[in-house]
Structure 1
Amino acid sequence: MLGIQISILVLLIVLSAVFSGIETALMSINQIKVKSLLKQGKKGAETLFRIKQNPQKLIITILIGNNLVNIGAASLATIVFTNLLGSAGVGIATGVMTFLILIFGEITPKTYASQNSEKISLIVARPIELLSILLTPFVWFFGKISGFMSKLLGSGEQAQLSEEELETIVTMGRKEGLLSGEAASMMHNVLKFKETNVSEIMTPKSDIHMVDAKAKLRDILDYVVKTSPSRYPVYSDNKDNIVGIIDVDEILKYVKNKRLDTKVRYLTKKITFIPKLKKIDDLLTELEGKKIPLAIVVDEYGKVSGLVTVEDILEEIVGDIFDKSRRQSIHVKKVNSKLIRVDAKATIEEINKTLHLGLKGEHFETIAGFIEHKLQRIPKRGEQLKLKNVTIEITKADKQGIQSVKIIKS
């Protein structure tokens, strides 16, 4: 008889270990991983996906099973030790069972399960689903009590995920193949959207194409043809005094009607000014509300720092999208390992990568802005800017700015 009791006791401890391991495995495997297993067609993944849809039902099923075997084991151990040692056996049984369940029924199986959650979850999903069906009345009863207590304690609302948790979920989705690289990148950009300042995405002043309010359309026509924006900021007297914007489509209408003597100021539309530290999500709302496509960025002294468009803001989420309001494709033509010919709109980063240089663009994105900053003026064709290990020669320029350059590595 004693042998049978001990055998049953060992079986109950083993079952306690099984339930503890199952609990850890099923609770630690996340929905992203489950969907990945389902996508791979793993055996048991479909059942695993089903039971994970109702976490309350799942945890109640496991806890009922675990508590039943633990209570059974403790009760049987008390009977065994009482028969052997009399009344002193109660205390001894409590101590022995606490140790056995802690080591063999909790710590060991949970440690193993946490390291093998995927394998274990796929194996136990079907048995746990069947057990949940068998225990349906009890699961329903305890579920109702749990729901009532949760409402009573005010914990009915789900906690919101933090930004860090969302970042982790997106990263995991990418690693598991549930999200493409582009989708994951877009989601990461969305999460960072509210933290981005206008100054981080603006086109710097040195790279902005502007036109004079006093100029006639015939005076700016060549400039408009050579450059690419769909809208130009309009300045009066100096480039820190921007009075509005002019639309290329509007210019073309007047050109078509041979009204080339019309002055720019008559076609100027309103523009808004914003501080450098304004958040781009707030700016997007403002621009959409005012129905204007761009804004001029100013510093604390009211001086023009740059320009930002609605598209610049949206690109922070979706990446570069090129349409008529974007610059034309940037070309870097490598002649040999020490010589490249580039469009003036080529970025410092591209040039550095092509010739393995270390040019520091500071606040200037393009090579044109970099050169004009160094010289403090617009250079003429044929002029050279000599720097350490590199010579930059202007191959095409006019009074409005640089068009192309030749870069020679020493």
Structure 2
Amino acid sequence: MEDASISLLLGILCFLILCSAFFSSSETSMMSLNRYRLKNLVKQKHPAAKKAQKLLEQPERLIGVILIGNNFVNILASSIATIVAFRLWGDAGIAISTATLTIVILIFAEVTPKTIAALHPEKIAFPAAHVLGPLLKIMYPLVYVVNQITNGILHLCGISTTSNDSKNLSTEELRTIVNESGDTLPQGKQSMLLGVLELNEVTVEDIMIPRSEIIGIDLDADFQQILDIITSSEHTLLPVFNSDINKTIGILHLRDLTKLIQQNNLSKTTLVQTIREAYFIPESTRLQVQLINFLNENHRLGLVVDEYGDIQGIATLADILEEIVGELSSQQNEQSSEIHKQADNSYIIEGSAFIREINKSLNWQLPTNGPKTLNGLITETLEVIPQANVCLKVAHYHIETLQISDNQIKSSRLFALDSPEDDDD
């Protein structure tokens, strides 16, 4: 080394700095790879991706070979830089080489390559995998010894070397990924995926048609009234009961009446003979479970019951599917809209509107851990049935009751408060 020319030593020094940059960028890029994209590329038989995945299966060995290589070239570079500086400046060269090499390594072998690797991990990691694989085989004995010593030290310190973190994504993590998918995922598909993720968090009670809005056939009513309900109904499945919905005796499928109508043989008696057995659902059933139950048991409508067996509403297969894909009919969506935007950016919302639907439509955050409808939220907050033109604040939203009828809030005006100053007003 003493006989080597300064130009040769400088050439070796530059090569070692490039090697250091390679190891630094390799470490960052390998650790920054998207594991799920990597698995997808492996399925597509991408050769570099397969090598990268194999290296990442044992990260302690990968990190070991990278750090051994990086430290080796950095120490060797420091020694050569010291020799060059000593020849040029004597004893003062030691301090000069230390300061200069520190800056050079920091900029050109650490910060710059690691930044590039973090921004473009695949472009760095995949080519690096072709080098790191053979290098690991060559240096495996040394890597093994270093890892064993390291694991022994960690064991003495009471630190487990086994990762306890699950590699499976939680629902919240999946939701974050979908929300941050941006332009790579169309808005419609993004909404559908979010709807699927919410199925396990939403219960039948959250989406059911409440008892007060159930349209059914009361056998105690006049037959003409029953015919009017059948001919005017927008639904093909109707509950059949005696005077009270809790006395439901079955479900009528309007399609089953076709033959009776053609034979001019439709009466209360023949109608009762065509009804199907009622299907009951506990109100706490999660949508994910109920969707499977509907499909397995070949039902499309169920009567939602509380813990006492009283009917609280109706839930259908279509209601659950709409949680995933949105309204199945745009015309139905327009006709049944309960949210009406005003010129002043406030909204007139019907009291029967579900809070979840309001939040979803307006991107609001009204509390959902209590009442399910706007009417219930207002009455629970005030603890009385209010008169018209009563104002209140719930969370960061201003609410003004507009129309009260039959002990229910029919409509209210709502708007979001923009700032803390608005809250005080």
Scaled by the length of structure 2, the TM-score of the pair is 0.60
Does the 8 Å CA contact 2:81/2:101 hold for their aligned counterparts?
no
Out of 283, 297, 300, the position equivalent to 1:293 is: 300
Out of 260, 264, 284, the position equivalent to 1:258 is: 264
Change (3 A) 1:79 1:23: closer
Q: Secondary structure at the match of 1:297?
A: strand
Aligned to 1:231: 237
2: CA distance, partners of 1:47 / 1:246: 60
Change (3 A) 1:121 1:261: closer
Out of 12, 15, 19, the position equivalent to 2:16 is: 12
Does the 8 Å CA contact 1:244/1:269 hold for their aligned counterparts?
yes
Change (3 A) 1:157 1:296: same
Aligned to 1:347: 337
* Alignment pair present for 1:198 and 2:204: yes
1: CA distance, partners of 2:218 / 2:106: 78
Out of 164, 177, 201, the position equivalent to 1:169 is: 177
Does the 8 Å CA contact 1:231/1:246 hold for their aligned counterparts?
yes
Does the 8 Å CA contact 1:204/1:364 hold for their aligned counterparts?
no
How many residue pairs match? The answer is: 335
Per-residue deviation, 1:209: 1.0
Q: Secondary structure at the match of 2:328?
A: coil
Letter in 1 for 2:201: E
1: CA distance, partners of 2:70 / 2:62: 13
Q: Secondary structure at the match of 1:259?
A: coil
Percent identical pairs in the alignment equals 24
Scaled by the length of structure 1, the TM-score of the pair is 0.62
Task: Compare relative contact order (CA 8 Å, sep 6+) and give the higher one, 1 or 2.
Answer: 1
Aligned to 2:281: 274
2: CA distance, partners of 1:363 / 1:108: 65
Per-residue deviation, 1:56: 2.7
Deviations 1:223-256 (A, max 9, x none): 2221210110112122343232111011222112
Change (3 A) 1:52 1:175: farther
Change (3 A) 1:291 1:10: same
Q: Secondary structure at the match of 2:331?
A: coil
* Alignment pair present for 1:363 and 2:365: no
Aligned to 1:311: 318
Per-residue deviation, 1:25: 2.9
Structure 1: 5+ residue runs without aligned partners?
38-45, 86-92, 323-327, 333-344, 374-385, 393-410
2: CA distance, partners of 1:137 / 1:391: 77
Does the 8 Å CA contact 1:20/1:109 hold for their aligned counterparts?
yes
2: CA distance, partners of 1:353 / 1:110: 57
2: CA distance, partners of 1:356 / 1:279: 35
Deviations 1:47-87 (A, max 9, x none): 875655545389767853552342244357569879999xx
Letter in 2 for 1:28: S
Letter in 2 for 1:68: G
Change (3 A) 1:141 1:82: closer
Aligned to 2:421: none
2: CA distance, partners of 1:141 / 1:159: 29
1: CA distance, partners of 2:112 / 2:207: 49
Q: Which moved more, 1:62-71 or 1:223-232?
A: 62-71
Does the 8 Å CA contact 1:197/1:280 hold for their aligned counterparts?
yes
Does the 8 Å CA contact 2:218/2:241 hold for their aligned counterparts?
yes
Aligned to 1:24: 28
Structure 2: 5+ residue runs without aligned partners?
87-93, 152-160, 358-372, 377-386, 390-399, 404-425
